[in-house]
Amino acid sequence: MIRPFILAEANWKTIKDAHIDLAILPWGATEAHNYHLPYGTDIFEADLIAAESARLSWEKGAKIMVLPTIPFGVNTGQADIKLTINLNPSTQLAILADIIEVLNRQGIFKLIILNSHGGNDFKTILRELGLRFPQMFLSTCNWFQALDKAIYFDAEGDHADEMETSLILFFKPELVLPLNEAGAGSEKKMKIKAFAEKWVWAERKWSQISVDTGVGNPSAATSEKGAKYFKAVTEKIGELFVQLAQCDLNDLYE
């Protein structure tokens, strides 16, 4: 069945007269995810979370459109990890500028980036593009920060961890190796205390902080946990899409 809110599936017959209040741009990455998860983990998550969130918002009357997922992200800290593909932030800016120019020209003045990769940080890019396209309302959302993961998962982590492994077990179980083949996802921390306190930042050099490219133990992951988390996170993001699609850009603050 054609989903009219997914641009890759929609057709000119329906698009030419469609009214669209909000464009959604999923953005992933292509990178190693421990030994057991596919390189496309962030792409699958972006695709499926965007589509389900959009379906929920569409059913509530939101006029939205999900653009095709960008499959490459900022992976400057993983330059020596084989076939992890990097886009520099300046490249992301150029891609976004071209997309926003199209939306702005066609009267679609709201865009949200649904980000699926921790190395992507769009805030400074959107500040710059906001000056270039003052009619546009530009926002970005990290779906993986929408909920308290501790409610759903036992082990902490932020890459190929219990949460991501549970999601891919739910989405694409045929692409997940047996969990006894996964690494433990142990992370080495900076020796300088200020970095652990998070008031100082430096990019992690991935091959130095993780033996298996994972950060977080995936051993307790299950498809059932992934399904429960997927339902909760898409319901929350779907409601955000409704609010963004229906909001008045001249009356945003109280």
How many Å apart are CA 91 and CA 120, to the nearest integer?
12
Place of tokens 């609010």: 243
Q: Is residue 30 part of a domain?
A: yes
How many Å apart are CA 222 and CA 241, to the nearest integer?
28
Whole-number pLDDT of residue 59:
98
Whole-number pLDDT of residue 218:
98
pLDDT tens for each residue of 132-177 = 999 999 999 999 999 999 999 999 999 999 999 999 999 999 999 9
Which residues partner with 110 through β-bridges? Answer: 137
For the chain, what is the mean pLDDT? 97
Q: Which domain holds residue 175?
A: 12-246
Judge contact between 203 and 77, C-beta under 8 A: yes
Judge contact between 216 and 186, C-beta under 8 A: no
Whole-number pLDDT of residue 191:
95
Residues 247, 234, 145, 118: what is their CA dihedral angle, to the nearest 10 degrees? Answer: -100
pTM of structure: 0.97
Looking at 66-192, list the stretches that DSSP marks H as alpha helix, in order from N- to C-terminal side.
89-105, 123-132, 162-171
Structural domain tally of the chain?
Answer: 1
One-letter amino acid at 18 equals A
pLDDT tens for each residue of 220-238 = 999 999 999 999 999 999 9
Burial class, 133, CB count within 10 angstroms (exposed 0-12 / middle 13-18 / buried 19+) = middle
Q: E strands along the chain, which residues? A: 22-27, 64-66, 110-115, 137-142, 157-159, 215-216
Rg (CA), the chain: 19
Among residues 73, 58, 81, the alpha carbon closest in space to that of 9 is found at: 58
Judge contact between 214 and 183, C-beta under 8 A: yes
Q: How confident is the model at residue 119 (pLDDT cuts 50, 70, 90)?
A: very high
pLDDT tens for each residue of 2-49 = 999 999 999 999 999 999 999 999 999 999 999 999 999 999 999 999
Q: Is residue 133 part of a domain?
A: yes
Q: Is residue 123 part of a domain?
A: yes
Q: Is residue 7 part of a domain?
A: no
Q: What is the CATH number of the domain that holds 44?
A: 3.40.50.10310
How many Å apart are CA 60 and CA 105, to the nearest integer?
27
Q: Which two tokens stand for residue 91?
A: 């490249």
Q: Is residue 253 part of a domain?
A: no
Q: Is residue 32 part of a domain?
A: yes
Q: Is residue 205 part of a domain?
A: yes
Looking at 106-222, list the stretches that DSSP marks H as alpha helix, in order from N- to C-terminal side.
123-132, 162-171, 193-196, 206-209
How many Å apart are CA 5 and CA 12, to the nearest integer?
13
Q: How confident is the model at residue 206 (pLDDT cuts 50, 70, 90)?
A: very high
Whole-number pLDDT of residue 237:
98
Q: E strands along 6-128, which residues? A: 22-27, 64-66, 110-115
Q: Is residue 1 part of a domain?
A: no
Give the DSSP H/E element, type plus range, for residue 216: strand 215-216
Q: Which two tokens stand for residue 143?
A: 């779906």
Whole-number pLDDT of residue 87:
97
Whole-number pLDDT of residue 205:
95
